[in-house]
Amino acid sequence: MSATVIRLDGHSLTRADVAALAAGASVSLAPEALSRVARAADFLAEKVTAEEPIYGVNTGFGSNADKLLGARRARDDLPGGNPESNALSLMEELQHNLVITHAVCVGEPFSESIVRAMLGIRINTLLRGHSGIRVSTLESLAAMLNRGVIPVIPAKGSVGASGDLAPLSHLAIVLLGGGEAFYQGERIAGAEALQRAGLTPVRLSFKEGLALNNGTTQMLALGALALNRIEQTIRTADLAAAMTLEAFAGRSGAFRPEVHALRPHPGQVETADSLRGLVAGSTLVDIPYHLVPRFRTWLADAWNEPEDQAQRFDLSWDWVPSSQRHGREKFYTRFLPFKGGKKHQPQDAYCLRCIPQVHGAVRDAWAQAARVIDIELNSVTDNPLVFPDQPGAREIEDQVISAGHFHGMPLALVLSYLKVSIPVLASISERRTNKLLDPANNDGLPAFLIGNEDATDSGFMIVQYTAAALVNDLATRAHPASVYSIPTSANAEDHVSMGANEARHVFDMCEDLERVIALELYTAAQALEYRQDMLNAARRLAARGDLGMLRRKISNAPREGTVEAAAFDRDCEALLKALATADSFHPSPRVAQAFAAIRERIPFMSRDRAMDGDIRAICEWVRSETP
């Protein structure tokens, strides 16, 4: 367990704290918060003798809210009954039964890290002092977390109003000595887990069952942890996009600050700034069109210098004769009349040019979800709410107020927004991966990023298939759950949020999003190495002054003695000079650092090999680190 201790006070819990709790941090309870807790519990204890209804204290729950608890059980006046029983025992039974009958979730259990986050969040909200729970009960809940007694909570069963009743009942039932728990790596009975940890079961008092199981804790924990992962993944997506842009020798004008000042959506502006920083210092981005050769299949006579025989490619350009330059004369005074790997167009495809608009929109969806979740982390979400010191209160209804803070719709809607953004970010990444592989659209790189001189290699072809499958799966899971309310509790709870399903979907989708981005990085690294090596090979060839060899790299060189031959020779000499005087071609420092990290794990693929280990390595890198 981590040595980190998170101080909970009901007001200052952050998403970073939630991540620390999930990773094993323990908690301490702020004394001033415990004073508020004690005040509310004492107030409730004073009021239980009143004969007016207090929901969840001396009434039933949900559709049973109109039923007041009597002084004793209805059967106690019958032979064999217990006429000495009192209202307190009924109230205790009410809370006990609430927990044990609501723990009905199904499916595989949440991981211990998720449940740890739920425990921390639940303790924090109860520390606000408006729930009526006793200090001793809250301390027992904290001790359970700190000693590693982690309730087993099956993942499915909450409708998100009244809060996450069923999963939180699985959480609370262990506190009562029931249910199951994980303890020191074992899944055992809750009572045994408490005993091994040196804890004793709790007997619930007024409203404590309701305080423990009525709230948005499951959806909040999943949402907070998902936000942390998605925040990292958005940054990684920017990096993958930058590496792809470098591999394309793309254009940076679409990221300039004056462009985005005209449409200043915050996420868009931030993404453009991120891209500018990521490619700063590159000699590949914005390279003149004529310097970029295109890939040609390696042949034994492709190079005549011994040090060049190890090349995994040949190079080629097409010359643009003067007869084909009409109407474009000014263009060819700026750029030499050669077409290689880079098309003569001032704009890249949408998947490159529109990175700020697409990644930025996802950032904005993330920011809206973060705003709501950050508020929820320090909110009271059970019912009824206890206000022991309400000014001017004359009736108990002024101090114990039934409201709807358990309703998960604020979370559900922003999680729906975030959920539909996940396949959007994955989709544009897959489009960049596909573009890198398609010889009709990859600006002069080899088909499927493999030399394939013997026609035996598939290269990275099927990597895109996997990305496409993942994007399709994410898209089919992105339909909002929040729009499908199914009433519960005999229509007493006639509109629910389904926010727990929404949060679970978002959390589960994070991993496939990471995988799609990882596949782009894997592919972009191969493409970048090809692009850099091809450009630098052309530069070395030019530096030797071998005009004859350069001419042989021009696919449509005119025959000697023709009218065009002299012009062709002059243009080739100009290309030779431009290449020879160009700086070494390299990506930006940020992209180069990421490329080196990938190459530490995965070598360049010059011929087909088993790729499953590569895929595991790149996915693990993206999942476990911030590239």
Q: Catalytic site residues?
A: 55, 102, 214, 350, 353, 406, 493
Token representation of residue 586: 């390299």
Instruction: Report whether 315 contacts 295 (CB < 8 A).
Output: yes
Nearest-angstrom CA–CA distance, 144 and 81: 37
Listed residue (519, 426, 436, 503) closest to 472, CA to CA? 426
* Number of other CB atoms surrounding residue 593 within 10 Å: 12
Work out the angle at residue 113's Cα, subtended by the Cα atoms of residues 109 and 116, and round it to the nearest 5 degrees: 95
Own/partner pairs, 86-93, CB within 8 angstroms, 24+ separation: 87/48, 87/58, 88/48, 91/48, 91/57, 91/58, 91/205, 91/206, 92/203, 92/204, 92/205
Token representation of residue 402: 């039934």
Whole-angstrom CA distances from 504 to 414, 466, 509 are: 13, 23, 8
DSSP 448: G
DSSP letters for 365-406: HHHHHHHHHHHHTTS--SSSEE-TT-TT--SGGGTEE---TT
Q: Which residues of 441-474 are buried (b: 16+ CB within 10 A; e: fewer)?
A: ebbbbbbbbbbbbeeebebbeebbebbbebbeeb
φ, ψ for residue 481 (rounded to 5)? -80, -25
Q: Which residue has the tokens 């019958």?
A: 78
Q: Which residues pair with 151 in a beta bridge?
A: 181
* Number of other CB atoms surrounding residue 29 within 10 Å: 21
Nearest-angstrom CA–CA distance, 383 and 396: 15
Q: Which residue has the tokens 């595989």?
A: 108
Dihedral sign for Cα atoms in the order 335, 339, 342, 346: positive
Cis before 487? omega within 30: no
